A and B are shown apart, each in its own frame.
Chain A
Amino acid sequence: MKPGLPLLWRKTKERYNLVGTKCETCGTYYMPERKICAKCRRKGKIIPYAFSGRGKIFTYTVIRVAPEDYEFFVPYVLAIIELEEGVRITGQVVDVDPESVRVGQPVEMVFRKIHEDNPEGLITYGFKFRPVA
């Protein structure tokens, strides 16, 4: 199911600038953001944090049978990226030959189109990753 406009809009900072949260009490990072620190609970002090976007491929898969609206992209790489702050997030890896991808490969955040509803619909933008050249 597609997210509605209000949810897309609320998530703009997260998608555009990799903004999550950090607990100032224990130094734990959260992406997506959390309102309460899982470790410190009520003692935690949560603040917004923009991740650097640098990280490495923790694990990946090559998508050859795509869901609706992504048929043109196949084959493409979907990976779990471990950011340099230690947080793991899922993202597409672009500008790459899927055969050349490897675990541990350094990647950087890029700003790309995530989804287009249809020729008349909204375009959603946000982060993806690509190998550091």
Chain B
Amino acid sequence: MAESIGIVGYGVDVPRYRIKASEIARVWGEEENRIVNGLGLSEKSVPALDQDAATLAVEAARRAVRHSGINPQLINSIFVGSESHPYAVKPTATIVAEAINAAPVLFAADHEFACKGGTAGIINSYALLKSGEIEYGLGIGTDTSQGSPGDALEYSAGAGAGAFIVGKKDVIAEIKGIYAYTTDTPDFWRREHAIYPSHGGRFTGAPGYFKHVQSGAKGIMEKMGTRPSDYAYAVFHQPNGKFPRTVAKQLGFTPEQIAPGLITPLIGNTYSAASMIGLAATLDAAKPGDKILVTSFGSGAGSDAFHIEVTDKILDKRNPLPVLEVIKHKIYIDYGTYAKHRKKLIM
């Protein structure tokens, strides 16, 4: 039997603050129903004033370490994907490494690939494992992204982090195959020093999200010789509540297959963390033998796809802090407090 490489622990963090779409709509004179139905989400998470992509990454990583039960000194690689790293120059991975006590002997770097920098981090750690260079590796997706005031993105841009530790011992979900699809597509971008991103409006849909997610998902299924019906669950990047439902249908997956991993409708789009929190929630619900297809998406544009198979180990290694438990503690705020939290005021 070939050695198995896969997930040995995972953790997520989501800020407790929430703002309702109806509250944002009220401020901008938009019709609430049009927004809620159009985006398929009714509220989003908002970071506290003292939370950023690094603090969320640290909390998620600490939970992943706790779940895995491993000595963090054995984590030999940390890659952190985000489009809201606190520093332009000074890696978030250095902060995480120190905060989980994995420093100093490890490979570390930050990634940026819009919403798929986190899955790219899992792939890097997977590759180092496969080449025998490390014992355990960590991939993190974390974001506190912003939409400019009044823009459609303001209703969906949430905050959160997902962390996955990969290794070869006590694997709860084996990563059996990976695939990636990348093109130069100008669907969404943010220049250095710009606070808010720019996007191509409707252009972000068809040539951006749908083309890449479809190509990624079809590519991994072709590589593995599988069909949608072979999978117990599927997780797609979820910039809103609508896109993942649509792409699942286009690819031939049922609403039931994507249900446990559809978390954006509850907390907003967590960007680099979105597909990873979706995978975490799916693993919370999965049984031994379940096959899970994961396809992330990052604007610019590309998709990473994974074929994952849940092992018997998951039965005695359930996550002590499931995603639904993390996100159920909520503190609602109004738009004024939200503007203060997101530093949208110029004083």
What residues make up the interface of A, taking CB atoms closer than 8 Å to B? 12-13, 16-17, 50, 72-73, 94-95, 97, 110-114, 123, 125, 128, 133
The answer for the CA separation of A114 and B98 in the assembled complex, in Å, is 16
- B99, A94: Cβ atoms under 8 Å? no
- A95, B48: Cβ atoms under 8 Å? yes
Q: Check if B256 is an interface residue, CB within 8 A of chain A.
A: no
Interface-side segment among B52-60, B118-126, B152-160, B285-293: B52-60
Q: Which residue of B lies closest to A96 (CB)?
A: B331
- A94, B50: Cβ atoms under 8 Å? yes
Q: How large is the interface on B (under 10, 10 to 19, 20 to 34, 35 or more residues)?
A: 20 to 34
The interface residues of chain B lying within 8 Å CB-to-CB of A123 are: 52, 54, 86-87
Q: Which residue of A lies closest to B52 (CB)?
A: A113
Which of A50, A97, A125 has a CB less than 8 Å from the CB of B95?
A125
- A72, B340: Cβ atoms under 8 Å? yes
Q: Which residue of B lies closest to A110 (CB)?
A: B59
- A125, B101: Cβ atoms under 8 Å? no
24 contacts between A and B (CB under 8 A): A13-B98, A16-B99, A72-B49, A72-B340, A73-B49, A73-B50, A94-B50, A95-B17, A95-B48, A110-B55, A110-B59, A111-B55, A111-B58, A111-B59, A111-B62, A111-B99, A112-B50, A113-B49, A123-B86, A125-B54, A125-B55, A125-B58, A128-B50, A133-B329
Given A73-B50, A111-B62, A113-B50, 7 additional A-B pairs, CB 8 A: A13-B98, A16-B99, A50-B101, A111-B55, A113-B52, A113-B55, A133-B329
The interface residues of chain A lying within 8 Å CB-to-CB of B318 are: none
Which of A73, A113, A114, A125 has a CB less than 8 Å from the CB of B99?
A125
The interface residues of chain B lying within 8 Å CB-to-CB of A112 are: 48, 50-51, 55
What residues make up the interface of B, taking CB atoms closer than 8 Å to A? 16-17, 48-52, 54-55, 58-59, 62, 86-87, 95, 98-99, 101, 329, 331, 340, 343
Shortest beta-carbon distance, A87 to chain B, in Å? 20
The interface residues of chain A lying within 8 Å CB-to-CB of B55 are: 110-113, 125
- A17, B49: Cβ atoms under 8 Å? no
The answer for the CA separation of A125 and B343 in the assembled complex, in Å, is 19
In order of increasing CB-CB distance, the 5 nearest A-B pairs are: A112-B50, A113-B50, A111-B58, A133-B329, A16-B99
Shortest beta-carbon distance, A86 to chain B, in Å? 23
Q: Which residue of B lies closest to A128 (CB)?
A: B50
- A17, B50: Cβ atoms under 8 Å? no
The interface residues of chain A lying within 8 Å CB-to-CB of B62 are: 111
The interface residues of chain B lying within 8 Å CB-to-CB of A113 are: 49-52, 55
- A17, B48: Cβ atoms under 8 Å? no
The interface residues of chain B lying within 8 Å CB-to-CB of A50 are: 101
- B50, A114: Cβ atoms under 8 Å? yes
- B48, A94: Cβ atoms under 8 Å? yes
The answer for the CA separation of A12 and B104 in the assembled complex, in Å, is 13
The interface residues of chain A lying within 8 Å CB-to-CB of B49 are: 72-73, 113
Shortest beta-carbon distance, A1 to chain B, in Å? 22
